[in-house]
Chains A and B, each alone.
Chain A
Amino acid sequence: MACVYIPVQNSEEEVRVALDQLPRDASDILDILKAEQAPLDLWLIIAREYFKQGKIEQFRQILEEGSSPEIDEYYADVRYERIAILNALGAYYSYLGKIETKQREKEDHFILATQYYNKASRIDMHEPSTWVGKGQLLLAKGDVEQASAAFKIVLDGDRDNVPALLGQGCVQFNRGRYSDSLELYKFDVAIMNFGKRALQVYPNSPGAVRLGLGLCRYKLGQFEKARQAFQRVLQASESIDPENVEALVALGIMDLQTNEAAGIQKGMEEMQRAFEIYPYCAMALNYLANHFFFTGQHFLVEQLTETALAVTNHGPTKSHSYYNLARSYHSKGDYEKAGLYYMASVKESNKPREFVLPYYGLGQVQLKLGDFRSSLSNFEKVLEVYPENCESLKAVGHIYVQLGQTEKALELLRKATKIDPRDAQAFLELGELLILSDAGAALDAFKTARGLLKRGGEEVPIELLNNIGVLHFERGEFELAEQTFKEALGDGIWLAFMDGKIEFSAIDSSVSTRQYKDIELFQRLEEDGVSMELPWDKVTTVFNHARLLEQLHDTEKASILYRLILFKYPDYIDAYLRLAAIAKERNNIQLSIELIGDALKVNDKCPNALSMLGNLELKSDDWVKAKDTFRAAREATDGKDSYATLSLGNWNYFAAVRSEKRGPKLEATHLEKAKELYTKVLVQRPANLYAANGAGVVLAEKGHFDVSKDIFTQVQEAASGSIFVQMPDVWINLAHVYFAQGHFALAYQNCLRKFFYNTDTQVLLYLARTHYEAEQWQDCKKTLLRAIHLVPSNYTLRFDAGVAMQKFSASTLQKAKRTADEVRSTVAELKNAVRVFSQLSAASSHHFHGFDEKKIETHVGYCKHLLDAAKVHCEAAEREEQQNRQRLEVARQVTLAEEARRKAEEQRKFQLERRKQEDEVKKMMQQEEHFERIKEQWKSSTPAPKRKDRSQIEQEEGGHSEKRRKGGKRRKKDKSPRPHYDSEEAEADMMDNHEEMEDEDANMMNDQDTNQMNDQDDDGADNAQDLLAAAGLEDSDAEDDVDAPMSAVNRRRRAWSESDEDEPSERQPGSSLNRENSAELPESDGEVREESD
């Protein structure tokens, strides 16, 4: 072991001091040193030894003693040693200042250091080591330029001064940071040169030199050489500094960055070693924390980063530490804390260009916490640095979606997909964004995503396939949709159901009415060992597939799938609703209501279920309940659900046109309310077709035909384009309006073919009505017969047909000219009419179909009367025909004769012939006159004045109700025939119509009476008896006239004047359809959206 020898003053002896046995108390040594006036270099050696042994206090004590004023005085001429002592102290305090974290102490240390150096300079201001020390101090203070100047002074004197060279290298290295890459390169080269020169001069230089060199190599991208340098630091310095933490950390970082398992492993070992050697190296701590973050040991991460934060003051490093901490909390889901630390990290570095990750993290956390604006700004910062970063582009796009700036979002996502056309995720998001705006483009995007995933050998997520399927579905590409759904679902029990492979045992037919509630079959199958597995992520797709089957009319399979869903997931409300819809479609109202009840058991606030229940209650004529239900539905959605509001609007509209007392005031109130509700919906959703339709109806009801026509036309245009929106009502309404304005519309016919497969008798009735108005009796009759064929149990139709036939006959008989054939067919028709009426009257003893038996009797009587009269007509017509024939024969002969002697007396004879003919004509005239008188009897049954006018009158007199009593009575009877068949709750209309009919009856009768009066006047007293009889019948005819259109011809009297009282009823199935559809489609969207988060 090394020793120093302190010469004893005034003698040859020396005191031997073993360096490894320095006394604990430095005062002992100091006493010796002082007593023996030992040379100052010994002081220094001993102090350094203390330092090496970590005995900092002793080290400081000796040096401070060694630099005291007395020593200065005593050793005044020993300049170098004194400087060395001062420099050692200066270096010591520089170091203290450098590692001190507290700002105040740091300052103090630096001040002390400065003082020592200044003192040293005063002894010899040219001493290079002092300048080097000053340079280091300046470096430590971050004053790079001055430091450089200090080193330069030394190097100017001795260009091979190693410490100065290193110092200058350090300066350059630090400068390099702030320069752009080219300069950086230059500087690095410069540093390298310094470093190399240092090594050349002093090959055994401390590790620091090689370390610096390694760092430079690293910066220049010469990783291999850098690695060698670091390794040599550790090897070479084994004796001096075998545990150079920086070198270890540097090597560790390099190994970690190899990104290979082995490298990372090695890197971590190095880091760990560094940590064991010196637990306060922030860099190593950060990297370790980083590692433990990935291994998921969050507790360690927190510990390490907290230590790192405590030991370092270096902004970027702290930033890293905060980042690590934030990341840890982020992954644990503690977004609040994560956000705070990200924020701290951002604040520490504050330069996105250097360390962008915390901005990204912060953006993510803020996005998660819903702070879109801040999140957006952070992601945008990321994009400033990396404008083509797909993840950030997607994130920003997503935020724009949330902020409702779809255009911007689209732009960004499109950019993202353009930058990386293989990023399936970006296409996925793009597709989701496009779903609402452009289904076609969305489909393309989804398909691309699917293709990419498939090519990449990845499993295509079921959500994606589901969405593709739904989009195909919405576009009406059912086959593609089915394929996609099947692909999404893969193998499972559902396949067996879809392919019909599972046979169901027969069920008792009385139970079969409840088949849509039956899930026992699954239990049975399960008992038989069939697995009923239905993974949760496939439920949506199974549901959608069932919807598709429903659309394809494969209702049975659809119902099985719905039930399968319910068997496994009894809370799946939509499945109940669809089953209820199927039951409703099949007219199984009871079951439908039960299923809705099940749905409400799951969620008694489900607005869809409530709306549907209301609809069903309307269907079963439970008005008050329906209103309550609709109200509940509206409340359940805070009035946001248009459907409930719409239904209430409809309800009010019905109430307006059906109310028992038919007070104009009440009616107006209801109409107003209906209008208000429709308007409310329109304000919320300006594109709501049903609300627009409703508003149109109300307007038409008020007589604003032109406005309502415009509305209907627009709705009609808008409605033709989606497979889910089917609005026959608007077609009918439009037809009604045209009709009301006097255009006989064939729109009914189109409507019938387009929407109802010709099965809607109501529309047939409208059609018959147009024929009736146009006096196309045969067409009218045929149309009615078709209707009867469709709904044979609707006796009203038969009555109408009878009336049509009667009208036909009467009109033929009134014709001035008619052939015998015509009369004969009239007779046949009359016989039919009589038969129809008598059958009705006979049937009325069996059923109640709303006809007054007496009235039918009158019809029968009238027809029979006509029949009798027709016989006379018939004979007359036949006689006339006979005569005509004879006359023609004579004429022909005459012409022949004339031919023979034409030349002779042509002109004169012709004259004669003329006269003869005239005589004949006169005779004819007489006969005609005779018939005319009979005809007069029919005149009174002249077609009534144009309907329109009458309806006008009727409207005016809408309120007055002389005949109310009778109306009421009949109304009750009227109930029976239709309700079963009418597609909707038409009873209301029926009543109204009836009532109205009564009114009109009254009006009409008056009308007719006056007509008759006139007729009578004209006619004179001649044939009074006949007339009287006729008048009585005429009266009945008059009533029929009116009745036919009303009671009979569907009493759509309102069609022209008030327009469309029954549309709303029809509208309902339509709108409910829509509703039901929309119920599950958003469903699937929803799921996907969740997924994308």
Chain B
Amino acid sequence: MKLAGLKSVDNAHEESIWAVTWVPATDARPALLLTGSLDETVKLWRPDELVLEGTNTGHCLGVVSVAAHPSGVIAASASLDSFVRVFDVDTNATIATLEAPPSEVWQMQFDPKVRKDNIPARTLIALKSPNRCQASDISLASSVISIHTSLLRKTEFLPYRTDYLKHPGIILAVAGGGSASVKLWDTATWQQIATLSVPRPEGSKPSDKSGSSKFVLSVAWSPDGRRLACGSMDGTISIFDVSRAKFLHHLEGHFMPVRSLAYSPVDTRVLFSASDDAHVHMYDAEGKSLIGAMSGHASWVLSVDVSPDGAALATGSSDRTVRLWDLSMRAAVQTMSNHTDQVWGVAFRPPGGTGVRAGRLVSVSDDKGISLYDYSGM
């Protein structure tokens, strides 16, 4: 397996770039890149040439996280002021502004990143939000079919059980920072439907200082959408059963912040975690066991993503490098050092789209640059 640099854009933002994600392809366009930066903007890029498609403003303070809906139609961005802005990718129309005070907002992810070819054609999301503005109404009207909103509203607690497997993207999971919880938002009504709280360690008084240690930084959905994992400042990872909104167990091993989590797309049990302790751990999230630990980065590992074929891992680190790991060997096979500052985000392009077979990896960094690589699994 190998990475080959395709294109780099220096000064893609005016300030550090902190977040990146792929917006899946729609019928009308290929997959796009979404980046968020300290300069308070979110930018949209068209690969492979990394042409700037649009700049979204409106956030105050830095943009810490971006997430794209599996349909590729909508996306969300979150900033340090704890607002989540949900917008239409193509028109930049604001669909909703989410806020769950006093909880902060860190990483977000729409529920399962299911392969797009599994999704029935044109079965996209329902957008009935009252917050939704006119512009997006018009643009989305043709491409969006409303479904199952009634179902969602009927039951309080298990609203999505029957449906969410068929129709991904019903839930947006948001890491809730100091609230030590993950907030789940219904993407139809843009109402908060559940709070998954990380239990405090036994024996600790609510008054002790663990509040900030359980600060939740990262979230990841298992590919089947049944499980949700979140990582905390103190290094613990919590696994939740989504359908029952129930905490299952902790995964231990890290003692420093876990800033990024990723499930393997081919094995729903396997979870990868990136931590400030410079290690990447590979867990059996169901069996509650540590399968392996991978070391090699010289500083914090800030971001982790698994290749669509499930054979490789990409990590971005404070040591300014991007590493590619061969999971069969559990060893780093390639180190890219084209960035000149911390690499805050790495992301493989999800499969699908019009005739695009080639693998792509993107990385963004404090050096204000974006780099795009060709990934070949062979």
CB distance from A473 to the nearest CB of B (A): 16
B212 to A789, Cβ gap below 8 A?
no
Of A115-123, A597-605, A828-836, A1037-1045, the one touching chain B: A828-836
Judge whether A500 and B253 touch: CB under 8 Å. Answer: no
Q: Which residue of A lies closest to B215 (CB)?
A: A793
Within 8 A of B (CB), among A771-824: 782, 785-786, 788-789, 792-795, 801
Known A509-B253, A759-B299, A759-B300; contact A980-B233, beta-carbon cutoff 8 A = yes
Choose one: B80, B102, B318; the contact of A846 (CB below 8 Å).
Answer: B102
Given contacts A587-B235, A846-B102, could you give 12 more A-B pairs where the C-beta distance is less than 8 Å? Answer: A500-B330, A510-B250, A510-B288, A555-B278, A759-B299, A759-B300, A792-B106, A846-B211, A848-B209, A848-B211, A979-B209, A980-B209
Report which of B209, B250, B255 forms a contact with A587, defined as CB distance below 8 A.
B255
At the interface with chain A, which of B127-135, B151-159, B219-227, B279-287? Answer: B279-287
Q: Binary interface profile of A, 194-212, with partner B (CB < 8 Å = 1, else 0)?
A: 0000000000000000000
CB–CB A587/B62 < 8 A: no
A896 at the interface (CB under 8 A from B): no
Interface flag for B5 (CB, 8 Å): no
Per the 8 Å Cβ criterion, residues 494-508 of A in contact with B are: 500, 504, 506-508
Tell me whether B207 and A586 are in contact (CB under 8 A). Answer: no
Binds B, one of A406-414, A441-449, A837-845: A837-845
With contact pairs A792-B104, A848-B209, A849-B212 given, residues A757 and B294 touching in the complex (Cβ less than 8 Å): no
Task: Provide 5 A-B residue pairs closer than 8 Å at the C-beta atoms, listed in order of the A residue.
Answer: A504-B292, A553-B278, A758-B342, A795-B212, A847-B178
Query: Which residue of A is nearest B180, CB measured?
Result: A846
Residues of B within 8 A of A515 (CB): 253, 290, 293
Flag whether B18 is at the interface (Cβ < 8 A).
yes
Binding site for A on B (CB under 8 A): 15-16, 18, 38, 60-62, 64, 80-82, 101-102, 104, 106, 177-179, 207, 209, 211-213, 215, 217, 233-235, 250-256, 276-279, 283-284, 287-300, 318-320, 329-331, 341-342, 366
Q: How far is the CA of A849 from the CA of B209 in the complex (A)?
A: 8
Nearest opposing residue in chain A for B319, CB measure: A757
A831 / chain B contacts, CB cutoff of 8 Å: 60
Q: Which residues of B have CB within 8 Å of A554?
A: 295-296
Q: Give min CB distance, B299 to chain A, whole Å.
A: 4
Task: Judge whether A782 and B38 touch: CB under 8 Å.
Answer: yes
Interface: A61 (CB within 8 A): no
CB atoms of A556 and B234 under 8 A apart: no
Q: Which chain A positions have C-beta within 8 A of B318?
A: 757-759
Interface set, chain A 92-137, CB cutoff 8 A to B: none
- B81 to A847, Cβ gap below 8 A? no
Q: How far is the CB of A793 from chain B (nearest CB, A)?
A: 4
In the bound complex, what is the Cα–Cα distance between A587 and B258 (angstroms)? 13
Tell me, in angstroms, the Cα distance from A556 to B279 when the chains sit together: 9
A589's nearest neighbour on chain B, judged by CB, is B255
Q: Are B256 and A586 within 8 A (Cβ)?
A: yes
Taken together as a complex, chains A and B put the C-alpha atoms of A843 and B178 apart, in Å, by 8
Evaluate contact between B177 and A975: CB separation under 8 angstroms.
Answer: no
Q: Which residue of A lies closest to B250 (CB)?
A: A509
In the complex the two chains form, is A556's CB within 8 Å of B80's CB?
no
Chain A residues with Cβ below 8 Å from B287 are 506
What distance in Å separates the Cβ of A512 from its nearest Cβ neighbour in chain B? 4
Q: Are A513 and B252 in contact (CB under 8 A)?
A: yes
Please judge, given known A-B contacts A793-B178, A845-B102, whether A757 and B320 are in contact too, CB under 8 Å: yes
Residue A174 at the B interface, CB < 8 A?
no
Assess whether A977 is interfacial by the CB under 8 Å rule. Answer: yes
Known contacts: A586-B277, A758-B342. The answer to whether A976 contacts B289 by CB under 8 A is: no
> Chain A residues with Cβ under 8 A from B291's Cβ?
506
Give bound CA distance, A8 to B70, whole Å: 152
- Please state if B15 and A842 are interface contacts (CB–CB under 8 Å): no
In contact, A980 and B60 (Cβ under 8 angstroms): no
Scan residues 544-602 of chain A and give those whose CB is less than 8 A from a CB of chain B.
552-557, 585-589
Cα of A759 to Cα of B212 in the assembled complex, Å: 19
A513 to B294, CA, bound (A): 15
**B207 and A553 form a contact (CB under 8 A):** no
Question: B295 touches which one: A555, A757, A977 (CB < 8 A)?
Answer: A555
Q: How far is it, in angstroms, between the C-alpha of A828 and the C-alpha of B59 when the chains are bound?
A: 11
CB distance from A978 to the nearest CB of B (A): 9
Residues of A within 8 A of B283 (CB): 509
Q: Report A968-986 residues with CB < 8 Å from chain B CB.
A: 975-977, 979-981
Determine the residue in chain B with the shortest Cβ distance to A510.
Answer: B252
Question: Inside 8 A of A500's CB, which chain B residues have their CB?
Answer: 329-331
Binary contact track A507-528/B, C-beta < 8 Å → 1, others 0: 1111011010000000000000
Q: Is the CB of A846 within 8 A of B299?
A: no
Q: Which residues from chain A contact B342 at a C-beta distance below 8 Å? A: 757-759
Task: Answer whether A786 and B209 are a contact pair too, CB < 8 Å, given A515-B290, A832-B81.
Answer: no
In contact, A553 and B295 (Cβ under 8 angstroms): yes
By a CB distance below 8 angstroms, the chain B residues around A557 are 295
Count of inter-chain pairs, beta carbons less than 8 A: 157
Interface pair B255/A586, CB less than 8 Å apart: yes
Provide the residues of chain B in CB contact with A585, threshold 8 Å.
277-278
Query: What are the 9 closest A-B residue pairs judged by CB atoms, nearest first?
Result: A842-B102, A847-B211, A587-B255, A793-B215, A976-B209, A793-B212, A512-B290, A555-B295, A586-B277
CA distance A510 to B283 in the complex (A): 12
* Closest-CB distance, A102 to chain B (whole angstroms): 83
Contacting pair A847 B295 (CB below 8 A) = no
Chain B minimum-CB-distance residue to A558: B295
Which residues of B sit under 8 angstroms from A512, Cβ to Cβ?
252-253, 289-290
Residues of A with C-beta under 8 A to B297:
553
Q: Which of B82, B209, B293, B331 contacts A975 (CB 8 A)?
A: B209
Q: Shortest CB–CB separation between residue B100 and chain A, in angstroms? A: 11
Chain B hits for A792, CB < 8 A: 104, 106, 177-178, 215, 217, 233
* Nearest CB of chain B from residue A1020's CB, rounded to whole Å: 39
Q: Assess whether A757 is in contact with B298, with CB atoms less than 8 Å apart.
A: yes
Which residues in A have their C-beta under 8 angstroms from that of B298?
A: 553, 757
Nearest-Cβ distance from residue B152 to partner chain A, whole angstroms: 29
B293 cross-chain contacts in A, Cβ below 8 A: 515, 556
Task: Report which of A507, A587, A794 forms a contact with B256, defined as CB distance below 8 A.
Answer: A587
Q: Please give me the residue from chain B that is nearest to A513 by CB atom.
A: B252
A589 to B207, CA, bound (A): 23
Q: Determine whether the beta carbon of B177 is less than 8 Å from that of A846.
A: no
CB contacts (< 8 Å) of A506 on chain B: these are: 284, 287, 289-292
List residues of chain A with CB within 8 A of the CB of B102: 839, 842-843, 845-846
Bound CA–CA A99/B255 (angstroms)? 91
> A887 vs B284: C-alpha distance in the bound complex, in angstroms?
74
A979 to B234, CA, bound (A): 12
A509 touches B235 (CB 8 A): no
How many angstroms between the C-alpha atoms of A552 and B256 in the bound complex?
20
Contacts of B215 in A (CB 8 A): 792-793
A587 to B232, CA, bound (A): 14
Contacts of B82 in A (CB 8 A): 835, 839
Partner of A509, one of B212, B277, B278, B288: B288
In the complex, the answer to whether B209 meets A789 with C-beta atoms within 8 Å is: no
Map CB proximity to B onto A457-490 as digits: 1 under 8 Å, 0 otherwise. Answer: 0000000000000000000000000000000000
Check if A513 sits within 8 Å of B253, measured CB to CB.
yes
Q: Are B295 and A509 in contact (CB under 8 A)?
A: no
Nearest CB on B from A320, distance (A):
66
The residue in A553, A831, A848 that gathers the most chain B C-beta atoms within 10 A of its C-beta is A553
B173 to A: closest C-beta gap in Å? 17
In the complex, what residues of A have CB within 8 A of residue B60's CB?
Answer: 828, 831-832, 835
CA distance A180 to B233 in the complex (A): 91
How far is B303's CA from A332's CA once the two chains are assembled, in angstroms?
66
Set of chain B residues within 8 Å of A976, measured between Cβ atoms:
209, 211-212
- Asked whether, in the complex, the Cβ of B233 is within 8 Å of the Cβ of A981, the reply is yes
With A500-B330, A587-B255, A843-B178 given, is the CB distance from A793 to B277 under 8 Å?
A: no
Closest chain-A Cβ to B265's Cβ sits at a distance in Å of 20
B18 touching A587 by the CB < 8 A rule? Answer: no
User: Known: A500-B330, A500-B331. Contact between A786 and B16, CB under 8 A?
Assistant: yes
